[in-house]
A = this chain, B = another copy of it.
Amino acid sequence: MNKHTYAVIMAGGGGTRLWPVSRKNRPKQLLPLLGEETLFQSTVNRLTDLLPPERILVVTVAEQASEMQVQSPSIPLENYLIEPAPRGTAAVVGLAAAILNKRDPEAMMAILPSDHFIRNRDLFHYLLRTAFSIASQKYLVTLGITPLHPSTAYGYIQQGELLDGDFKYPVYKVRRFKEKPDEKTAQEFLRSGDHSWNSGMFVWRADAILNEINRQMPALAGVLDKISALWNTSSHAEVIQSLWHDLEIETIDYGIMEQAERVAVLPAGGLGWSDVGAWDSLFEVLFPDMNGNVAVNSQHLALETRNVLVYGNNPDRLIVTIGLDDMVVVDVDDVLLVCKVDQAQKVRDVVEHLKKHRQENYL
């Protein structure tokens, strides 16, 4: 890949819907949820075939940075951009773009969440190369995921006309970004054939996204100007700290993408992608047996059981299920969760409940 291409890994989130495996001090991206590697390590490793570690940046919070450096020591320390506090993805993207643009005015960047799963690394590389070649024409490129079912857990992107150009995959202008739909609307989106899941992965020139931030979020743009001017000076930590706290929390999708110009979507099928946002989406990317069951880190003895994920942390523990359908069983040292798959989003309510009742030890 040409020397102006960079990747920016966003790694600030908590992953509360994967509680009780994902915990306050062990957020999901730092856990080996789907194999030997942690999600963060997988995100780094699927990039290192494409880019040298010097061109991979990580935006995260201080509490997580040291563990990340242990997990993926190849990324240089100066490539970690520390947010004083989470202010949404618009601020994250803006910070990375401003720093990169200062380092390399021709910089193109892929924005990648640290906590997604992608089975097909080769296809991911092909798609990313294509996205960079579109981005070099000053498009803001979003990676869309061809929907597999009418999910209500993802935002959607509606595509418009096919983009002209000599690309390896069909690429479309974006017609509209759409929020997480209700079930009926999700069915319509699926049937329409022109909607993709919004993966939260973007590729663009740093200057192109900064232009949009200037135009649509001038307050953020002003803060970014000040921060990048002081970056790597003695006063930079202090200044960021004070400026950052004044920023409004905003996502890149709503803050920028919805009203941006020259936005393209590259729909991907067969990527084996999941945002691993909750137990149901994690379940989707595992390989079930003939009854639809999956056992991770546990012995599962299943009688009259269909479509059940048993997720443990002790291979010697025997988990027996009798007469269960469409269920997730998550078994860790201090907590057991048994949850109907279609109610997996409610795990967030459990975490809220525990916070409210100050049961900190379970968080």
Chain A residues in contact with chain B, CB under 8 A?
Answer: 20, 301, 303-304, 316-324, 327, 329, 331, 334-340, 342-344, 346-347, 349-350, 353, 359, 362
Residues B319 and A336 in contact, CB atoms below 8 Å apart: yes
- Taking a contact as CB atoms closer than 8 A, the residue among B317, B319, B334, B353 that contacts A301 in the complex is B353
- Taking a contact as CB atoms closer than 8 A, the residue among B318, B329, B336, B349 that contacts A317 in the complex is B336
Residues A320 and B343 in contact, CB atoms below 8 Å apart: no
Residues B318 and A335 in contact, CB atoms below 8 Å apart: yes
User: Chain copies in the assembly?
Assistant: 2
| Docked complex Cα distance between A348 and B324 (Å) | 17
CB-nearest residue of chain B to A357: B301
Q: Which residues of B contact A353 (CB under 8 A)?
A: 301
| Docked complex Cα distance between A336 and B318 (Å) | 6
- Min C-beta distance of A348 to chain B, whole Å: 11
Residues B320 and A338 in contact, CB atoms below 8 Å apart: yes
| Docked complex Cα distance between A301 and B347 (Å) | 11
Residues A324 and B340 in contact, CB atoms below 8 Å apart: yes
> With A303-B349, A304-B343, A350-B301 as given contacts, are A322 and B334 in contact (CB-CB < 8 Å)?
no
Residues B323 and A362 in contact, CB atoms below 8 Å apart: no
Contacts beyond the supplied A320-B336, A320-B350: 14 A-B pairs with Cβ under 8 Å: A303-B349, A317-B336, A318-B335, A318-B336, A318-B362, A319-B337, A320-B337, A321-B339, A322-B339, A322-B344, A322-B346, A324-B338, A327-B338, A336-B336
- Min C-beta distance of A102 to chain B, whole Å: 47
Q: Which residues of B contact A331 (CB under 8 A)?
A: 336
Residues A329 and B324 in contact, CB atoms below 8 Å apart: no
Residues A334 and B362 in contact, CB atoms below 8 Å apart: no
A-B contact pairs, 27 of them (CB 8 A): A301-B353, A303-B343, A304-B340, A317-B334, A317-B335, A317-B336, A318-B335, A318-B336, A318-B362, A319-B337, A320-B338, A320-B350, A321-B339, A322-B338, A322-B340, A322-B343, A322-B344, A322-B346, A322-B347, A323-B339, A323-B343, A323-B346, A324-B338, A327-B338, A329-B338, A331-B336, A336-B336
